[in-house]
Each structure stands twice: as structure tokens, then as C-alpha cells.
Amino acid sequence: MTNSNFQANYMNKLKKYSDAVNPGIALLVIENSKISFESTYGFAYLENKIKIDSKSNFRMASISKQFTGMALAILEESAKLDQNKYITEYLSNLPKYCEQIQVRHLIHHMSGLPDYYVALCSTDKKIPLTHDDVCDFLKSKTSLDFTPGSKFEYSNTGYNLLGKLIENVSGLSYKNFIENNIFKKAGMKNSTIISSSESKIKNKVIGYSEWPMFDLNDYHTGNYLLGEDGVYSSLTDMYNWIMAI
């Protein structure tokens, strides 16, 4: 889509975000490896009237998975990881039925692992989930949902295990590995990984419910799970990431 077509088709749809009292968005269009359109709308935090700009850090949610994938590629390239090996060579504390899963099955969402999301995640709970909670959930099950490699089924559980696998193989925390081996090298100066204190995230965009209600909706039980989630990034940094790739 050309820049002129983009503006013709979408600018009217963006008007609801340009109201000064609304939470908003950051938008960038890349055309032939160059920025052809860039704009920001509304507030990152309504209560303090902080405006969104190109350095505002949004919770990337499942978009975080691509950084987990790149981390695994880096480890494999440095001969520290073999995606054809079984995950129990890199991960402990898993039930016996996980012994048939290879690393590549986790990467490509073909593991057959039960997904924890419906069972464990809630916006009402106050205590954030951890990797150990995911492992306990797996121990409460007796088998896989299907034979590894037989079909595709999107899996947050699998990417949570991959986040821990990265830590075990690299000897670093997931946060340190991603920040040192990806963010710094790609020039992603604003991006970070969530930790035990959200206040450490600079330029954070707060989450709200859908337009036009805008109820505060930033906290989620699964916000602190890493591997499948956990990355905060900005418009500028995501452009640098795309160019680095």
C-alpha cells in the first residue's frame, strides 16, 4: 500500500484517537525500507496527561515472542543450543509426558502442550503468575493434547518454557540476554523487559479498555510472564528492529 492510499483509507479512522482527552496510538508506515508516514495520537497516561510520542513504550504482549525466537537463533548459531534436541535436556521440573517434545516443536507451536491461559490468567487476581505456576499447571495434567509435530496450535505455554530455556542455556536472565544481545545491537534504546517493578519502565503507555469507555485496564495476572510476553517497546525502536532484521 502506498502512502497516499494509506492516508486516503485510514486517516478518517484515526480521528477518534486524535481527541486530546483519549488514550491513543503510535503509528508508522514503512515503504521501501523508509518511513513514509509517522504520527502519534492521544495520551499514554490519561490521569497525568502524558502524551504518546515515538519513544512511548507499549506493552508488546505476544509480539514479544519474536524476540524469544531471535534469542534462540542466536544461541543455536553459537552452538549452545540444538533445536532438534528434546526440551528435557535443557529444562527440568517438567512432567514425564514432556519428554517427547523437541525444542523446534515449541518454537513452531507444534508441541501439543496444554495452554495455561484460560486456567490461570485473570484480571481479578492480584498475584502475578510466574514460570513455576506454568510448570505446576503442566504437572496437573497427565498428557499432551496431541502428538508433537502432528499439527499447529498456538501456545503461550510453549513460549514460556522457551523463555526459561534461554536462561538455562545462556546463564543469563531472560531480560539481560534480550537487552544485551538484541536491543543494544539493534539500537533499541527505549525497549526493556518487564520485571518485578513496572515503575522501572520508562515512557510506559498505560492500558485502557476499548473506545469510548477507557476504563483503566493495565494490570493482568500474566503481565510478568516472560518468553511469550514481557517486552515493552516504542515506535522508534520497532523501526530499528525491523531495519536490523
Q: What is the pLDDT of residues 59-69, one digit of tens each?
A: 999 999 999 99
Is 226 within a domain? no
Give the model's confidence band at 238: pLDDT under 50 very low, under 70 low, under 90 confident, else very high: very high
Q: Which three cell numbers stand for residue 101?
A: 517434545
Whether residues 14 and 47 share a domain: the answer is: yes
For the cut 70, the answer to whether the pLDDT of residue 20 exceeds it is no
Give the model's confidence band at 22: pLDDT under 50 very low, under 70 low, under 90 confident, else very high: confident
Give the model's confidence band at 5: pLDDT under 50 very low, under 70 low, under 90 confident, else very high: low
Taking residues 210-224, report their average pLDDT: 84
Is 225 within a domain? no
Cα separation of 23 and 42, whole Å? Answer: 5
Q: What is the pLDDT of residues 187-196, one digit of tens each?
A: 999 999 998 6
For the cut 80, the answer to whether the pLDDT of residue 8 exceeds it is no
Whether residues 56 and 74 share a domain: the answer is: no
Whether residues 113 and 213 share a domain: the answer is: no
Whether residues 109 and 213 share a domain: the answer is: no
Is 182 within a domain? no
Domain containing 81: what range? Answer: 64-176
Whether residues 81 and 168 share a domain: the answer is: yes
Q: Please enumerate, as own/partner, the contacts of 210-215 that have beta carbons within 8 Å and a separation of 24 or more.
A: 211/16, 211/22, 212/16, 214/22, 214/23, 214/46
Give the model's confidence band at 175: pLDDT under 50 very low, under 70 low, under 90 confident, else very high: very high
Report the chain's terminal Cα–Cα distance, integer Å.
21
Whether residues 128 and 203 share a domain: the answer is: no
Q: Which residue has the higher pLDDT, 121 or 226?
A: 226
Is 186 within a domain? no
Q: Evaluate if pTM is beyond 0.75.
A: yes
Domain count, the chain: 2
Taking residues 198-206, report their average pLDDT: 83
Report pLDDT for 6: 61
